[in-house]
Structure 1
Amino acid sequence: MEIPTPAELREKRLRMGLKQADVARMAGISQSMVARIEAGSVDPRVSTLAKIVDVLQAAEHSTVTAATVMTAPVLSVNPDDPVNRAVEIMGQNGISQLPVLEGGVPVGCISESAIMSAMEEGGLHQTHRKLVQDYMEPGFPTVPPTAPIDTIVHLLHHNHAVIVVEQGKVQGVITKHDLISLIT
């Protein structure tokens, strides 16, 4: 087994369109550890290095990227929109959650389950007058358009959607349904 140099790891990661945080998340290590390994300031365990190499090899073998499976444009709401606007968009489009964007940047999400919980706590009349920000949940994970399909599959095991972001702006969204439709 040939051990890659820090520069080779960094170059391969950049070629795959991955951020240090992406590699860290997929390898189950910290972003700072990836940065220190790439900088050559730490001598990692073989097991840690193997995790990074596995992530980069999987990304290299993937031909389907986030850009090829994403849905665009992205249906979304703003934090200051009335919650009934979110309900209306979800109902019209048969979806159960929406990203919350502020100036085109993801800041959270809102789901049917969060709205239902709010109705249970405060009653229908209280909920009707509230804003999206009152029921906003943490946002969906983000990936670059070049992220490999393996990364997206992994993220969708634990999330309802993945947002595709390029240069800080939302380009598309990927749901489990989008991936399942690849089978046909």
Structure 2
Amino acid sequence: MLPRLEYIKQARVRLGITQRKLASLTGVSTSMINQIESGRCKPSYDTARKIFEVLGSLEGKTSMKAGDICSRHLIYVQKDERLHRAIELMRKNSISQIPVFDASKVVGILTEDGLAKIMVEKDEMELKDVRVSQVMESPPPQVDVSTPAKALIPLVRFTRCVLVSEKANVIGIVTITDTLKMVE
């Protein structure tokens, strides 16, 4: 099933190409592209498919991927480490969340909000012997390096961070700040 025809103009404008350029890439006349975009003409299925294929290939070449915007210097802790070590790493590196691993597998995350709740519940003496695994939250979602960066924006807004993997190995993290790289 093809996308709606209104998408043709939106995609063309977003890509910054003219009707003439789209027409030459698809083998359709400029007049036909104009008529399709204005709603005066309904193209055949084959013509519409060809237009969408060209637009899709152009978007694939120009759009950023998760691997392009992720921070590849991943700071993390192991689940058996003391909570104080995780807090120290977070403060030293000015980060608001830190992934938790069990060897090479992601098993959770520590966040500033989660740590604030724990600190309210326990006094400082109780926190000295707490292990990361005792207070970590569920792990954040993971995406492949080739995932379109635009698809990450709603996910990051909801989960605060997304881990980026390549060949099943976590290689980076995307936070809300990282999504701003798409504007540059």
Please indicate the TM-score interval, normalised by the length of the shorter structure.
Answer: 0.5 to 0.7
Query: Identity over aligned residues, as a percent?
Result: 25
Question: In the superposition, relative to structure 1, how do residues 168 and 125 fare at CA in structure 2: closer, same or farther (>3 Å)?
Answer: same
How is 1:11-30 mapped onto 2 (pairs within 5 angstroms)? none
Deviation at 1:144, TM superposition (A): 0.2
Q: Secondary structure in 2 aligned to 1:158?
A: helix
TM-score w.r.t. length of structure 1:
0.65
Indicate whether 1:130 and 2:130 are aligned: yes
Counterpart secondary structure, 1:130: coil
Structure 1 unaligned blocks of 5 or more:
4-56
Rg (Cα) greater in structure:
2
Query: Aligned residue for 1:153?
Result: 153
Aligned to 1:77: 77
- Separation in 1 of the partners of 2:97 and 2:83? 12
- Three-state SS of the structure 1 residue aligned to 2:78 is coil
4+ residue segments displaced more than 2 Å = 57-62, 181-184
Counterparts in 2 of 1:18-167, with a 5 A limit?
Answer: 61=59, 63-167=63-167
* Matched residue type, 1:139: P
Question: Distance in 2 between the 1:112 and 1:161 partners?
Answer: 13
SS in 1 for 2:165: strand
Pair 131,183 (structure 1): closer, same or farther in 2 beyond 3 Å = same
CA contact (8 A) 1:79 1:100 kept: yes
Contact 1:82 1:130 survives alignment (8 Å): yes
Letter in 1 for 2:126: Q
TM-score for the superposition, normalised by structure 2: 0.65
* Backbone CA RMSD of aligned residues: 2.2
Paired residues, number:
131
Return 5+ residue gaps in structure 2 as ranges: 4-54
**Residue 12 of structure 1 corresponds to which residue in structure 2?**
none
CA contact (8 A) 1:59 1:148 kept: no
The alpha-carbon distance between structure 1 residues 183 and 80, as it changes in their structure 2 partners (threshold 3 A), is: same
Give the counterpart letter for 1:72 in structure 2. R
> Aligned partner of 1:110: which letter?
L
What is the SS of the residue equivalent to 1:154?
Answer: helix
- What is the distance in 2 between the residues matched to 1:158 and 1:118? 21
Q: Is the 8 A contact 1:76 1:101 kept in 2?
A: yes
